[in-house]
Amino acid sequence: MKIFYGISSIKQIKEGTAIALGVFDGLHLGHRKVLKNLAGYAKKMNLKSLVITFEPHPEKLWKKKPIYYINNLKQRLDLMGEFKIDYCLVINFSRSFALLKADDFVLKVLKGKLNLAAMVISEDYKFGYNALGNSKLLTRLSSLYDFKLKVIKPLKIGGRIVNSTYIRQLLAQKKLSQAKKLLSREYFIEGQVIKGNQIGREIGFPTINISESENLLIPEGVYAVAAWAKNKKYAAVANIGFKPTVNHQLRKRHIELHLLNFEGRFEHKKVKICFVKWLRDERRFKNIPALQKAIAQDVKRAKSLFYVSI
């Protein structure tokens, strides 16, 4: 997949293109339905498939509360690679771009620069100034500007439309299995291995400390996780929080992993953490032995999930 960063990076695409657009945060089952349709439609019509995504999230411009991604831009682009898309255009969603009318966007950008010949859109998707771009407008513009339009029904599971907002809500509620079903994979973050204060080692549960990820959407607590480093998988228990029993002054949220059935020096500098199951909330224990007992129970539960011998 060839990636273009910014509209100005493209002079003009000569081949006819089939286009889908959206933020595609999370690449969930609803997004996958769109991209599978796009790839199939492009192949059928002998066109190049092209995905347009936006960075930052459009809602970041207008909402007072911050919007956190399920996946950052790099992760989204990596996930898109599964669908054999030919091109991806990353558009900087600025205030000036937000003022561009939907019909001008179609004529000047999609038709004028990207050689739009076909478009795939979910029935509920909206774009352009004041979100006036929708399937109804595109139906009219497809006749006016001579391109094919395929409108697909939004994916529903359990009577509810699958979207990123709903998945963020599930993650905030620690409903990892439900989020996994809609994402078609476990929710994950990526972080750098950083130096810790060795407290875990002192109490019998050595840990790897991880820098906080920009897309950490789950609450503080203890989780069973799968940690990936250089294509190798490690079963682990993750603690996310402020370590109230051993560090009362910690103000920044902390991520640490205790690897199961692993000894030695962990040499990797980057880790991908896939969250499998919430085990318990983080809390302050009355003393270190009580904390050690709780961690031992966390380890036992995690091992049972990963079928690791105790």
Mean pLDDT of 201-219: 83
Mean pLDDT of 7-16: 91
pLDDT category at 128 given cuts 50, 70, 90 is confident
The pLDDT of residue 307 is above 80: no
Token pair, residue 179, equals: 């989020």
The pLDDT of residue 131 is above 90: no
Token pair, residue 57, equals: 């999230």
Mind listing the pLDDT tens digit for each residue in 225-249? 999 999 899 999 999 988 767 665 6
SS (H, E, C) the chain: CEEEECHHHCCCCCCCEEEEECCCCCCCHHHHHHHHHHHHHHHHCCCEEEEEEEECCCHHHHCCCCCCCCCCHHHHHHHHHHHCCCEEEEEECCHHHHCCCHHHHHHHHHHCCCCEEEEEEECCCCECHHHCECHHHHHHHHHHHCCEEEEECCCEECCEECCHHHHHHHHHCCCHHHHHHHHCCCCEEEEEEECCCCHHHHCCCCCEEECCCCCCCCCCEEEEEEEEECCEEEEEEEEEECCCCCCCCCCCCEEEEEECCCCCCCCCCEEEEEEEEEEECCCCCCCHHHHHHHHHHHHHHHHHHHCCCC
The pLDDT of residue 250 is above 60: no
pLDDT for residue 251: 62
What pairing do the DSSP bridges indicate for beta strands 148-152 and 116-122? Answer: parallel
pLDDT for residue 238: 95
Mind listing the pLDDT tens digit for each residue in 147-180? 999 999 999 999 999 999 999 999 999 999 999 9
| Window from 69-78, 87-96, 128-137, 270-279 with minimum mean pLDDT | 128-137
Q: What are phi and psi of 41, to 5 degrees?
A: -65, -45
pLDDT for residue 202: 63
Strand-pairing partners, residue 149, are 119
Percent of the chain past pLDDT 90, that is, above it, reads: 69
CB 189 within 8 A of CB 213: yes
**pTM > 0.75: yes or no:** yes
pLDDT for residue 50: 98
Q: What are phi and psi of 147, to 5 degrees?
A: -140, 155
The separation between the first and the last C-alpha atoms of the chain, rounded to the nearest angstrom, is 45
- Quote the mean pLDDT of the chain: 90
CA distance readout (Å), 32 to 116, 205, 207: 21, 40, 36
The pLDDT of residue 11 is above 90: no
The residue written with tokens 């990936």 in the block is 228
CA distance 34 to 166: 18
For 195, other C-beta atoms within 10 Å of its C-beta total 6
pLDDT for residue 301: 94
Q: Which amino acid is at 165?
A: T
pLDDT category at 67 given cuts 50, 70, 90 is confident
CA distance 210 to 97: 36
pLDDT category at 198 given cuts 50, 70, 90 is low
Mind listing the pLDDT tens digit for each residue in 253-297? 889 999 998 887 888 899 999 999 999 998 888 888 888 899 999
Whether omega before 154 lies within 30 degrees of 0, making that bond cis, reads: no
Residue-range domains of the chain with CATH: 2-164 (3.40.50.620), 186-306 (2.40.30.30)
pLDDT for residue 71: 94
Percent of the chain past pLDDT 70, that is, above it, reads: 92
CB 21 within 8 A of CB 51: yes
CA distance 91 to 56: 9
